[in-house]
Structure formats: structure tokens, C-alpha cells
Amino acid sequence: MAATGFDGEKYARMQADEIRNRLGKFGGKLYMEIGGKIFDDYHAARVLPGFRPDSKIRMLSTMKDELEAVICVNCNDIEKSKVRGDIGITYDLEALRMVDLYRSYGIKADNIVLTMYTGQPAADSFVRLLKERNINVSLHRPIPGYPTNTGLIVSDEGYGKNDYVSTDMPIVLVTGPGPGSGKMAVCLSQIYQDGRRGIKSGYAKFETFPVWSLPLNHPVNLAYEAATADLGDVNMIDPFHMEAYGKSAINYNRDVETFPVLKTILDGVMGHSPYRSPTDMGVNTVGFCISDDAAVQEASRREIVRRYFRVACDHLDGKVPADVVSRVDLLMKKAETSPENFLLYREVRRQADGADGPVAGIELPDGTVVTGKATGNLSAVSAAILNAIKVIAAVDGNFNPIPPETLKQVEILRTDVLGNDTKLRADEMLIALAISAKTSTESERAFSKLKKLRGCDLHGSVVLYPQDNSVLRKLGINVTCEPVHQDRILYRN
């Protein structure tokens, strides 16, 4: 497991101060577009050991008396039932979850903006649902020629036609369930309409990656590029920043490409843009809070390898083209890393070579790798989990925490009642283990160590069952696998 390399307390102080300073430059109101994940930022937690998945929202909660949240959802994503892949729910449901999460941290969240609205039936149904739940709904329609037709955009027939979002706090977090939610356009629309109301307001962007203050090929920035390889994002030195200040700063292609148009729009909505480069817009202080660069680099290299396995498996399933895999492979070479640099991947590959079934391995917090093989009644993942918690609990390796009679009963349920094969997936194995923990001290000791697996890495020699993936995600385990199907079945559920 990676050593701590990030100072979370320093980050909370610095980031809050930077946001307040940016508000001070504009006066009345600051609309802050949130890039990336505000909740559940597991990517940041993996590449910056010491950063917690909820570090950003915890930091913002210290400012809860100064800010509120507005959530944007693209109506086309609602119509297509677009799903957030990491947690498996649609964007409209994710918007509701975000409202609940903000409120759980004491942050006001009463507004949802539906962008790109053209009367989509699914969007209309969502509007009715939101109103029934006392959520304020604003509709923003497409503007012809956006974003290049700046004359129309910055006019009463452009931004002026959008519903105005009424907010109370000086800092407004503009967030969304994923990319393409229309967050920037909502910010700029609000600034334009504030100007018509005599309210001073400004725009800033709170995006963690790429880290502008780190070198272009620092593993943290390469890991971000690997994470967004399917989007075609490419990190680059911000040419506008270099021209304006003679200093190197890192940004990515989409922000750099759109900056001239954005600056023109900002000139229109604010009278004069305060920003001379896309990097100027950001308020990110992450790079200044790295306490152990070597630890962060090593964690980031490992993340690039994880991303390689993920895109390779996605390609196997037809989700991404081959060039995405090639792109991440090149990033591994840039970062001077590969799967062979890590004991977990080497050990699983070694044991799988010539094995008569799948193998899975878990790397424990102390660096020990524990493996498990598929048997007649356990999947490889189930076996690996059982073996791992036995090691952590210091239980005899030959001891079976689940009595044979319990395994047999679950096997009968799977085969005779449900018509499945005999191998217990991770969720079924854990239920059997929980029952067994009531009848055996050793089983209870092993069961109590499941939480110790959070943050560990698991690697499979073949593509894992969907049920196993789901359970591993809930256990907080980082999952990868070789891009190899364990059979020739075309339909998997």
C-alpha cells in the first residue's frame, strides 16, 4: 500500500482560502464550476495517498455558511438514461443523490438546472418529480451556434432567455453528475443575468486534475490522462499562460482549445475578462499540498497500470476502440512503469500460468499478496477474500471459516432453486460467512477483518463476474483483471 504523500489538513486550509480570495476579486458573487468529482473522488485518493475520497466536500463544508450548490443535468443524458459507471445509477438519480449528499454536509442545495432542454419527455417527467419534492427547477435551452456565435450568446436572446437561478449565498457551486452537464454555460448565463440585475459576479473553476503546478509528465498528470483516455484528453503546457506570464502551467487540450471563445464570452458577460489564460480561471491548490513526492509518484504509476487493465477489458467488451488501449500503454511507458513492476500482478500471472481455473490475488496493507483459486464451490474472488481475511486475522490457513454444511446449503439454493452454477460469488460467500460468524470464534475473527480490505488491490487472471465486481466496489477494493474471458459465453449477467 502507498505511503502517505499528501497533507489533507494543509489542503483544507489552502483551498478554502484560495476560494475566498477569488470571491474577493469579484465582490458580490462567485459562480464556481466544479470539474471532476466533488464526492467519491477515488481517483484522487489513489494517486494522492492521504487525500480522502470526500476531502473536497469536507473542505467545502467548512464554508457552508458562505456557499450553496446548484446541480446541472443535460436533458439528453436524462433521455438516454445515461449511467454513472462507477456507482451504476442514471444521471437524474445521481442528481437527487447529490442533493442529499450536499445537504448531509450542511450545504444548501435547492436548485437543479436542466440544460439542453427541448421538451424531452423524460426531462418533463423529471421536472414533475423535482417539483413534487420541492426542488427548484430551471430550464436552459440550446443556443444556436453555441459557443462561437458570441453575439447571440451574450444577448437577451441567448443567455437572457434562460431561466434565472435564484441563489442566496455569495459562493455558488455549479456541479453535475458527469461531463457535458452544461456547468460552464450555467455559470456564464448567471453572470450575464446578474449584470442585468446590478449584481457583481464572477466565474472560477475548481478542477483537481491535471495539476497545473506539477510538470507535464509528472506521474500524477499522466495518471489523469490515463483516466480520461477514452475522452481524448491530452495534457499540455498552457500556451496562453506562457505568453502572458512567461511561466509554465499545465492544462489540457479542451480548455486550451476553447479559451479564446470563452474569453470573448467572459468579455461580454463581465465587461472585461479578468483571465489571461485557462489556468488563471482555476483555484486548485493540490500541487502545493504534496508532502512526499516519491510516494505520490509511485501511487500514480500504479494507477496508470490499473487504468491500463481497465481499458484493455473495456476494449475486450467492445466499449472502447484499440487506440485507447494503445494510448494508455504509451502513458505507462512515459511513466516508466508496467504491470511487471508490481508484485500483485506478477504473482497472479505466475499462479495462473498453467492453472486449470481462474486465480485472484489481493495485496494487503503490509504488501503481502494473498491468492485464491476457483474451486468447485467458490469463485476465485471469493476464495481470495476468505484467504486474505484469514491472514489478517491470523487464523490457521487450513481452517475453513464457512463450514461445509453451510456451503452445501447455499450451493443447493444456487443450483436446485435458482438454476445457477455451483460456484459462490462474493456476495453469496459473504452472507454464508456472516452466518458462520455466529457459530465460530475463528469465523467471527475472520469476518471482523473485512473492513481491513478497504483500499487494497485485487487482480484477477480473467474478467470477473459482475456480481463479484459489485461486491468488491462496496468493500472499497480497487479491482483490475487481465483482459481474458474465462469462457466463450457471449451473454453475461
Query: From CA 176, how far away is CA 155, in angstroms rounded?
Result: 25
pLDDT at 141 over 90: yes
Q: pLDDT tens-digit profile of 220-264?
A: 999 999 999 998 889 999 999 999 999 999 999 989 998 998 899
Cell numbers at residue 360, please? 485472484
Q: pLDDT tens-digit profile of 411-420?
A: 777 777 766 7
Q: pLDDT tens-digit profile of 341-373?
A: 999 999 999 999 988 899 999 999 999 999 999
pLDDT at 493 over 60: no
The kind and range of the H/E element at 93 are helix 91-104
Query: From CA 188, how far away is CA 202, in angstroms rounded?
Result: 9
The confidence score (pLDDT) of residue 396 equals: 86
Q: Of the given ranges (83-87, 156-160, 223-227, 460-464), which has the lowest mean pLDDT?
A: 83-87
Which of the given ranges, 78-87, 119-128, 147-156, 401-410, has the highest pLDDT on average?
119-128
Q: b/e for 434-461, b at 16 or more Cβ within 10 A?
A: ebbbeebebbbbbbebbeebebbbbbbb
User: Cβ–Cβ contacts within 10 Å for residue 87, how many?
Assistant: 13
The confidence score (pLDDT) of residue 422 equals: 59
The confidence score (pLDDT) of residue 467 equals: 80
The confidence score (pLDDT) of residue 488 equals: 56
In contact, 109 and 98? CB cutoff 8 Å: yes
Query: From CA 462, how far away is CA 440, in angstroms rounded?
Result: 33
At residue 1 the predicted structure's pLDDT band, cuts being 50, 70 and 90, is low
pLDDT at 489 over 70: no
Q: Is 144 exposed, middle or buried (0-12, 13-18, 19+ CB in 10 A)?
A: exposed
Query: From CA 160, how far away is CA 197, in angstroms rounded?
Result: 11
Strands (E), 321-456: 359-363, 369-373
At residue 421 the predicted structure's pLDDT band, cuts being 50, 70 and 90, is low
At residue 166 the predicted structure's pLDDT band, cuts being 50, 70 and 90, is very high
**314-320 mean pLDDT:** 93
Which of the given ranges, 1-5, 25-29, 293-297, has the highest pLDDT on average?
293-297
Bridge partners of residue 69, in order along the sequence: 173
- Residue type (1 letter), 326: S
User: Cβ–Cβ contacts within 10 Å for residue 121, how many?
Assistant: 9
The confidence score (pLDDT) of residue 79 equals: 96
Query: From CA 367, how far away is CA 344, in angstroms rounded?
Result: 9
pLDDT at 490 over 60: no
In contact, 107 and 61? CB cutoff 8 Å: yes
Q: Is 18 exposed, middle or buried (0-12, 13-18, 19+ CB in 10 A)?
A: middle
Helices 219-227 and 322-334 meet at what angle, rounded to 10?
A: 170
- How large is the greatest C-alpha to C-alpha distance in the chain, in angstroms? 76
Helices 426-436 and 466-474 meet at what angle, rounded to 10?
A: 60
**430-442 mean pLDDT:** 90
Cβ-based neighbours of 281, under 8 Å, separated by 6 or more? 203, 204, 205, 275
pLDDT at 62 over 70: yes
The confidence score (pLDDT) of residue 337 equals: 98
For the chain, what is the mean pLDDT? 92
At residue 487 the predicted structure's pLDDT band, cuts being 50, 70 and 90, is low
Query: From CA 175, how far away is CA 70, in angstroms rounded?
Result: 6
Cβ-based neighbours of 454, under 8 Å, separated by 6 or more? 475, 476, 477
In contact, 26 and 171? CB cutoff 8 Å: no
pLDDT at 270 over 90: no
Residue whose C-alpha is closest to residue 39's, from 116, 104, 110: 104
Please say whether the dihedral angle defined by the alpha carbons of residues 229, 39, 31 and 194, taken in this order, is positive or negative.
positive
**156 dihedral zone (left: phi>0; alpha: psi -120 to 50; beta):** alpha
The confidence score (pLDDT) of residue 419 equals: 66
Residue whose C-alpha is closest to residue 244's, from 280, 205, 206, 211: 280
The confidence score (pLDDT) of residue 346 equals: 97
Helices 380-392 and 466-474 meet at what angle, rounded to 10?
A: 30
The confidence score (pLDDT) of residue 109 equals: 98
- Residue type (1 letter), 237: I
The confidence score (pLDDT) of residue 484 equals: 94
Q: Is 166 exposed, middle or buried (0-12, 13-18, 19+ CB in 10 A)?
A: exposed
Give backbone dihedrals phi and psi of 138, rounded to 5 degrees, phi first.
-120, 140
Residue with cell 417539483: 131
Cell numbers at residue 277, please? 489564460
User: Cβ–Cβ contacts within 10 Å for residue 317, how many?
Assistant: 11
Hey, what domains does the chain have and what are their CATH numbers?
8-224+231-289 (3.10.630.10), 352-481 (3.40.140.40)
Q: Of the given ranges (1-10, 25-34, 256-265, 360-369), which has the lowest mean pLDDT?
A: 1-10
The confidence score (pLDDT) of residue 167 equals: 97
Bridge partners of residue 32, in order along the sequence: 173, 204
The structure's pTM equals 0.91
pLDDT at 482 over 60: yes
**427-437 mean pLDDT:** 90
**CA angle at 305 for the pair 282 and 470, rounded to the nearest 5°:** 90
